[in-house]
Structure 1
């Protein structure tokens, strides 16, 4: 039997909630007792995901690169439930798989806009409101907490990877954003962390060629991609009161590809 976390009465936002990884994370949060608001720019996939996840899930069609839309969405989310306890910045795009001299500036900028700037906008909007909400007394710590933020980065943000300059740079930036916001909110009872998974079996993995897949797989000592459920389990702990002193931490999920 795996670890059990009690997230009853907790309210969460998961960006990129219509994708496979977002759904998996949302399902884990719901199974632990939370209610989850899915944010995604794909309206059709978003509606399908919310329906699949059941009554504990709701949907908000939103482009996280639109600052005004993010502000409106964050305000509506807080008004509808009174608070947000958990934010999962999961939305992301892969971008071109090319050497940097062949890449399109427009595509490079788009990857940074979604993966980094979008995460910044959502964090900015949610953290500002999270800081003002009443702290929750926890059963596992004498220190009250206002919330948890988990950023879904990538092992490429640590190592970089050939043919993925935009994606690697965006995820490295997300790691720096995590560490900076964690320091700013450390005394507010807000825990900010990130994970660095290797490739998972998601729609993004299907965008690459067989040769690229083999290259990525060869870099992972365990010899396999990470499972969505494995990512969700780590996110679950990082979203729980059991994670009360690890703010600013970057947690590896790379099957041994990086051990720092």
Structure 2
């Protein structure tokens, strides 16, 4: 059965996602966010993308609380209620020894990768709780579990996302809102195209499957976590590492 045929099968859509489900995807203008948006649309889910890029449905700096609050207000004005929140926006941050890391770059990485996830959850969780159903998927990284040399800002920020996911998952466990994260290794996205080749090669050597992941592979996992089929998992971290993960 083709993707298009599946999207036209209302029984399958109803089994996987609530009727009228709306997914809000940060970083939806490209990379993993765009792949998630494409797949969910194929499966009959309404999607709104959020990015600084003009091609996104909504432009918003997710590290700015007022802009996030205004985003929610615009969605409400447009008659849209968010059931699924996918926090995909992120920065790779500086590639340097910790002692050589510029503090402004460190702070910028934290603002986008950590504060952005916090602010989106803060402003969109209450509506999900009120409706009694919701799914939040945070894009962390295997670097947040193992740490990547010369990527202290990125590794630290993704470890924080994992901690936030576990905490919020427990907090909302009885409210019908499930919170999970995925921890990819290198995925073939624009985020990694500007990586120092030495860093890229060092990280590739740690993947037993010997290749980077594909955005569509990540999107499949996210789509399941966003669905009704995921019903007894919250506060969890799902590795997508080609065998690199060790725990």
* Corresponding residue number in structure 1 for 2:47: 36
Paired residues for 1:138-217 under 5 Å: 146-217=133-204
- Counterparts of 1:26 and 1:218 in 2: how far apart (Å)? 30
Q: What CA RMSD, in Å, does the superposition of the two structures yield over aligned residues?
A: 1.6
Question: SS in structure 1 opposite 2:109?
Answer: helix
Consecutive unaligned residues in structure 1, runs of 5 or more: 51-58, 136-145
Matched, 1:91 2:89: yes
Whether contact under 8 Å (1:252, 1:259) holds in the other structure is no
- Counterparts of 2:32 and 2:107 in 1: how far apart (Å)? 23
* Corresponding residue number in structure 2 for 1:24: 35
Whether contact under 8 Å (2:24, 2:49) holds in the other structure is yes
Please give the TM-score of this superposition, normalised by the length of structure 1: 0.87
Paired residues for 1:1-260 under 5 Å: 6=13, 7=17, 8-43=19-54, 47=55, 50=56, 59-133=57-131, 135=132, 146-260=133-247
Whether contact under 8 Å (2:89, 2:113) holds in the other structure is yes
Whether contact under 8 Å (1:78, 1:84) holds in the other structure is no
The structural deviation recorded for 1:80 is 2.5
- Counterparts of 1:254 and 1:23 in 2: how far apart (Å)? 20
- Counterparts of 1:130 and 1:156 in 2: how far apart (Å)? 30
Consecutive unaligned residues in structure 2, runs of 5 or more: 7-11
> In the comparison of the two structures, how many residue pairs are matched?
236
- Counterparts of 1:114 and 1:161 in 2: how far apart (Å)? 19
Question: SS in structure 1 opposite 2:78?
Answer: helix
Question: SS in structure 2 opposite 1:187?
Answer: coil
- Counterparts of 1:207 and 1:185 in 2: how far apart (Å)? 37
Q: 1:203 to 1:161 in 2, by over 3 A?
A: same
- Counterparts of 1:74 and 1:180 in 2: how far apart (Å)? 23
- Counterparts of 1:228 and 1:2 in 2: how far apart (Å)? 19
Whether contact under 8 Å (1:14, 1:87) holds in the other structure is yes
The structural deviation recorded for 1:247 is 0.8
Provide, for residues 185-222 of structure 1, a one-character-per-residue CA deviation record: whole Å limited to 9, x for no partner: 11110010000001111111111122221111101011
- Counterparts of 1:158 and 1:84 in 2: how far apart (Å)? 29
